[in-house]
Structures are given as structure tokens and as C-alpha cells.
Structure 1
Amino acid sequence: MARPATEMDRSAPAARHGAFHPLKVAAVDRLTEDSVAVTFAVPPELRETYRFTPGQHLALRRAGGGAEIRRTYSICAPAVDADGPQTLQVGVRLVEGGEFSTFALKELAVGDSVDVMAPAGRFVLEPAPGRYVGVVGGSGITPVLSIVSTLLAREPEARFCLIRSDRTVASTMFLEEVADLKDRYPDRLQLVHVLSREEQQAGLPSGRLDEERLTGLIRALLPVESVDGWFLCGPYGLVQGAERALRTLGVSRKRVHQEIFHVDEGASAAPAQARAAAPSHAAVTATLDGRSGNWPVQDGESLLEAVLRNRADAPYACKGGVCGTCRAFLVSGEVRMDRNFALEAEEVEAGYVLACQSHPATEQVELDFDR
């Protein structure tokens, strides 16, 4: 099973804070017409800093148009080096109008330097014996590729079933890498590939991998009750459909882990009654790297924005409620979150919030970024 988020945070606190280091680009490899794999060289003195758990992501930073641009991309390489990684590789798919993805595909070159934050994220699996399943769509393959390649290399008693959905063969990221894994571990890796816009000569018929289709497919393929962990990653619609399918099949919520890519604007926004006006004189107390401060929250500001005005090192990446980099523990007070696509239900129940999506509902709010 994946390690609990709280346990992982205690063991790797550096991954939760906002420090960046410049890393040299060692390779830019074209995967498809609209995606590349970017490899960074990790110098010896930073190998411990960039030690990662399979499934984690990196926040990348660059200046553009007079403003700072940050984006998160999942690590796709296996975690097999005991001394920490010599290189880090991420998959980048072009997003229409995306400043960083356009830069990565059209301008980024070997020898360039990019600011990279330490690995973060809780969509992870520490290798352990058992049966695991991944349901991924499009670029959602990137963290799951790291998970499955690490698991099969380090744990001989583990099995993995990968169900992936793509538009066409030509648009499939890491097609050869997954095929190589299947050849290397034919008895322990089960691969099911569904194309939504292209017929295959063999295998499943084309079509969207929706809730109904997934329910039937999983029931036919797997002993559901024997699966130790389910990893869902990709567009919002696919992940939500997969989660509903697993609920129909009686899978315990504790066994399901998900990471959302590509959330439509307005999806799961807070209802109108929840967007009540904040207290007129709200303030936030925040603890970060052992130092605390108390600052006013301006009208309409998120708690992250209030903290950033006074602590530029506050951790964040997407500011969209997706990556989870700004996760903090709510020590006291009440907040409302506009969107949440990063925290598990258990984390919210335990008191964690996304600072980028949180607004004060009481005059005093206290956050702890160190927990």
C-alpha cells in the first residue's frame, strides 16, 4: 500500500517547502508531436535533496513576460539509485496557450538551466509485495510509469495491471517505455491499452473509457478484492469515472489514490452559499521552516497570497488546487476552500487545507506548513 501522507511528510520535510535549485538540462527527447521528456542532471551535492518516492512531482520555475511562471510535472523515471538520483526526468505535454509547456517544447535545449523545487506530492507507492492497478489517461502515465517501473524492479513479489487510455497511438506518451516494461516483466505486468479515437487491429475496441466501461473491464480482468492499491491519474473526468466504478465494485476508499491532471475551469467550485464574504479584519498566522508570523488578509485574498506578501519562500506551484504543494495544517480558526483536487478525504478530515484555495471564515486563522 502507499505510505500514509502524514508519515511521508515527517520523513521528507524538505520536499514541502519552497526552495529551488538551478539544474542543467541533460536531454530533451521528443515523445510525441506535442510532448517531450526533459532530463535534468543532479549534481552530487544535491542528490539527497532530490531523492524522490515513485509518483512524486517537481515544480519548475522560470521568468516570463515580466512574471514568474511555475508549473508542476511528474517524475517518470524509476527510483532505483540508493544514493539518490543522478538525473531526474519529467514528461511535458503541450497545453494550448501554456507558457511553460510551449517553452519546453519549442525552446528548451540541452545545457539550459531551469529552477527546480525538491520533489513533492503524496500520490506515491513505496515498493511492497502485492497486487496493484493503475488507471491512467493521457499524460497521467508519467507518475504511474515511475511507480510501476520502480515497483517491478525492486519488489519481485509484486504485480501491476496498467489500464491506460489515449486518443491515438501517435499521441501516446512513453509508448516504447511501457512496451519495454511489458517485455521485461511479462508475468508481472498486465497491460490494457484503450484508444478513444483510433481502431486497433487487436485488443479492445476504440471508445472513451467511461465509468460503465471501466466497471465491466475491471470486473473481467481482476480479482478486485485482492488488489492492494489503485492509482488513478489523468483528466478530471476519467479519474472521477474510475473512482465511481471502483465504488460500484465495493473497493474501500482507503485503497484508492488519485491525482488529477487537466481540470476544467469551474469544476467542483465552491457553491455560492459557501462563498460568503470573509471577516472584515481577518489575519493569518503561519509557521514555515520553524518561523512564525501574523499578517492581515486583504479582501478577496487567499491565505497563500497573504503569506506570500510577507514570506516569499511559502511553497506553491499551480495555485489551482491541483498539485498540493501548498498543503498546510489548519491549527485553529475556520477556512473555506474553493477547490480541492489534491487532498485525500482523510487529509481534509485530519485538518489539512490547500492554502492557495483557502479563505478565512473566522477573524483569526493559523496555518502550519511544517506538519
Structure 2
Amino acid sequence: MSKFYPLTVSSVENDTRDTIVVSFDVPADLEDIFRYEQGQYLTLRSEVNGEDLRRSYSICSAVQDEHLRVAIKRMPGGAFSNWANDTLKPGQRLNVMPPMGNFNLPLDASKQKHYLAFAAGSGITPMLSIIKTTLLAEPGSRFTLIYGNRASSSVIFKQELTDLKDSYLERLSIVYIMSREQQDVALFNGRITREKCDQLLTSWIDLKDIDAAFICGPQEMIDAVNASLQAGGMEKSNIKIELFAANIPKRKTVTGRPVIGKQECEVTVVMDGNYTVFSMEKDKESLLDAGLRHGIDMRYSCKGGVCATCRCKIIDGKVDMDANYSLEDYEIARGFVLSCQSFPVTDKLLIDFDQDN
């Protein structure tokens, strides 16, 4: 799981003015490694202007498609996204890490459920995979999507969503919320705020009929929708959240972190079956930064606690974890942490990147 594999880009298609959809050829000997679940993401790696860059992008294909592809939206100041939009061509090779992520729920063909999804902008990319996979895997289930954008021209996967709606007229409902384009229904104008969500749950969506909800977009929208859903009676455990790395908040500055015991911690890292030991000061840098400084190719992408690429399990010892926008409560209870946000507390620490549960 920690390795990058060189994959050939099979196609690059423009979906909107600032978004490309990149497909990869997966050789037969790597098919098992790159088998994915709906809602998972890929971490891409490339050298851009002499800098080693890694970014995570959601897979936007249904599991049944067996077609590995991601959408890359150009972001202001985005070194990787701008490079990809400007230069990626079919035939190029990119280093790609196998699929990761838990932004999904188990599916059962015998179930008849009603799922709700809220997405904004590029937050649609994992939703497309989740929605299409679910409709195919659970013939008795339904999906309602609330999708926020500036205007029709910025709607990513607009044609695919239209085709999907045409294929599942009775099982898929899509509501577009536009912030800069006037629509006939006043409720569908503006941004997806807490007030807007409350109104939708009052007049458009019956939460009693919803089994689970997915939210993907900027932090502000996620917080608003999450609060509205829980206020409406939905259990927290039935709400799945994905925050894109593009929305990473500023990292905390380590200042005066209290040190217990010795100043240094002896860290043992288990990765790909190998054991590596190094020492680091407890209050100066994260586990990830210290490991990289010691020459260990520990996996990471965003370094902001968002993508969970750096997820590992504490086998022995304790850490303080500053920010967490990706791990579920049950994962933390089992000892998983984000190495990019974790600082040693004990004198010795054993972390394992190979464990999945």
C-alpha cells in the first residue's frame, strides 16, 4: 500500500473549462492491487518544476465499470492541478498509489435503502462513483443528490449525471443549487448553507425516509450540512464525510508543547514488512516530517490531516494528534492516527503502516 506504481495515462478529457478527467491503463499484473471501492481515492505523484508533488484525487468510476479514472480541477495556486490541466496527455506515465479511503458504506443487493448526498463543486467526484455503484449493486435502493455550483457551466460531470438520471428515473433525484445562476425555484438559488439545508429538510427531503447521508465539499458546507442533518434527527454514525485536500486549513504551529519524560522519542516504523528505527524530539515536528527527514519514504499526500494517506496504527506508545478531518471515531478507537498530525508523547513509539484494521 505504501508503494507508487507507474501507470500510463490512457485518456485526458475536458469536462468543464477548468476540469479534466484522467483515465489510467492498469496492467493485468496490477489489477488486484488497483481494485477499488466506491468513494476511494488515488494519490498521484510527479516532479513538477523540480519539486516532488503528491496529491489525492477521488476515483469517479463505478466499481462495476472497472475503469480507473479521476477528475482534476484547476485550483488557484494549485501547483499539481495546474500542471496536470496544462500538460497531461495520453501516453504519459504517472506514479500512482493504490486506492485508499473509507468514504463508503457496505452494499447489499437485497437491501432497499434511500441514500442522501450533498456535494459542492469537485465534491461530486466521489459521489458519482458512490451513486452509480450503489444504484447498480442495490436494485431496490434510491439516491437523492443535492449538488451546489456557481452556474451550469461549472457543473462537473453534468452530462454523466443527466444520463444517469435518465437511466434511473424512479430511483435517482438530483437537485442543483446555483449561487450565480437564477433558477425557477427560489429554494434552489444561493449556496448550501445551514439555513438552506434546514429549508431543504423541511420542504423537500423527509429525513425519516433517509438511511444514510454522504457529504463532500468545503469545510464550511460540510459543517453546515452535518449540523442540519443531526439537528433533524439523523445519527452521526449514518453520516459519511469527505473533505478535499484543496480545502486544507492552515496547519497548527507547535509552540511550547509540554514534554513528559525524555526530550527524545525512539520511533519504530513498520512499512511494507520492514522495520526502521529513528529518534526525534517530541515537540518539534510531526512523525511524518521526522520520518521523511530520516530518509524513510513514509506515504503522504496533503500533510493537513485531510486525505488519510499517511494513516498508520499505534502499536505501542502514545501520540498527540492535532487535526483530523478524515479518520472515523472507530478508527481512532482502534489506534489509528494521521502521522502528519501526530507528535510523540511517550519515550518509545511503534507505528505500523501495514495494518488495515
1:51-70 Cα shifts (integer Å, max 9, x gaps): 00000000000012322110
Rounded to whole Å, the distance in 2 between the matches of 1:189 and 1:329 is 38
Gaps of 5+ in 2: none
Rounded to whole Å, the distance in 2 between the matches of 1:295 and 1:40 is 37
Relative to the length of structure 1, the TM-score reads 0.88
Which residue identity does 2:97 align to in structure 1?
M
Aligned pair in 2 of structure 1 residues 282, 42: CA closer, same or farther (>3 Å)?
Answer: same
1:21-40 Cα shifts (integer Å, max 9, x gaps): 11111111111111111111
Q: In the alignment, what sits opposite 2:91?
A: 111
1:136-181 Cα shifts (integer Å, max 9, x gaps): 1110000010000111122211111111111111111111111111
1:291-348 Cα shifts (integer Å, max 9, x gaps): 3232101462211223334564422121111100111112232212221111122322
Q: In the alignment, what sits opposite 1:336?
A: 320
Structure 1 residue 103: deviation in Å? 1.2
Q: In the alignment, what sits opposite 1:123?
A: 103
Output aligned runs, 1:209-358, within 5 Å: 209-261=192-244, 262-266=246-250, 269=252, 275-276=257-258, 280-298=263-281, 300-310=284-294, 312-358=296-342
Q: In the alignment, what sits opposite 1:14?
A: none
Q: In the alignment, what sits opposite 1:6?
A: none
Which residue identity does 2:226 align to in structure 1?
E
2:38–2:130: 8 Å Cα contact kept in structure 1?
Answer: yes
1:363 aligned to 2:356?
A: no
Aligned pair in 2 of structure 1 residues 210, 290: CA closer, same or farther (>3 Å)?
Answer: same
1:180 to 163, 166, 172: 163
2:152 is paired with a residue of what secondary structure? coil
Q: In the alignment, what sits opposite 2:146?
A: 163
Stretch deviating more after TM superposition (93-102 or 54-63) = 93-102
Relative to the length of structure 2, the TM-score reads 0.92
Rounded to whole Å, the distance in 2 between the matches of 1:165 and 1:270 is 33
Aligned pair in 2 of structure 1 residues 328, 158: CA closer, same or farther (>3 Å)?
Answer: same
Q: In the alignment, what sits opposite 1:8?
A: none
Rounded to whole Å, the distance in 2 between the matches of 1:226 and 1:368 is 41
Stretch deviating more after TM superposition (63-72 or 140-149) = 63-72
2:196 is paired with a residue of what secondary structure? helix
Q: In the alignment, what sits opposite 2:15?
A: 31
1:197 aligned to 2:180?
A: yes
Gaps of 5+ in 1: 1-16
1:147 aligned to 2:130?
A: yes
1:134 is paired with a residue of what secondary structure? strand
2:254–2:284: 8 Å Cα contact kept in structure 1?
Answer: no
Structure 1 residue 190: deviation in Å? 1.1
1:94 to 74, 86, 91: 74
Rounded to whole Å, the distance in 2 between the matches of 1:156 and 1:103 is 40
Stretch deviating more after TM superposition (293-302 or 332-341) = 293-302
Q: In the alignment, what sits opposite 1:48?
A: 32
2:176–2:188: 8 Å Cα contact kept in structure 1?
Answer: no
1:76-113 Cα shifts (integer Å, max 9, x gaps): 011105xxx3x311011111111111111111111111
Rounded to whole Å, the distance in 2 between the matches of 1:309 and 1:196 is 45
Rounded to whole Å, the distance in 1 between the matches of 2:69 and 2:33 is 15
1:55–1:125: 8 Å Cα contact kept in structure 2?
Answer: no
Q: In the alignment, what sits opposite 1:76?
A: 60
2:8–2:92: 8 Å Cα contact kept in structure 1?
Answer: yes
1:136 aligned to 2:119?
A: yes
1:135–1:163: 8 Å Cα contact kept in structure 2?
Answer: yes
Which residue identity does 1:33 align to in structure 2?
R
1:108-148 Cα shifts (integer Å, max 9, x gaps): 11111111110001112333321111111110000010000
1:220-259 Cα shifts (integer Å, max 9, x gaps): 3333234222111011111111111111112111111101
Rounded to whole Å, the distance in 2 between the matches of 1:290 and 1:47 is 22
1:76–1:91: 8 Å Cα contact kept in structure 2?
Answer: yes
Stretch deviating more after TM superposition (143-152 or 21-30) = 21-30
Which residue identity does 2:158 align to in structure 1?
L
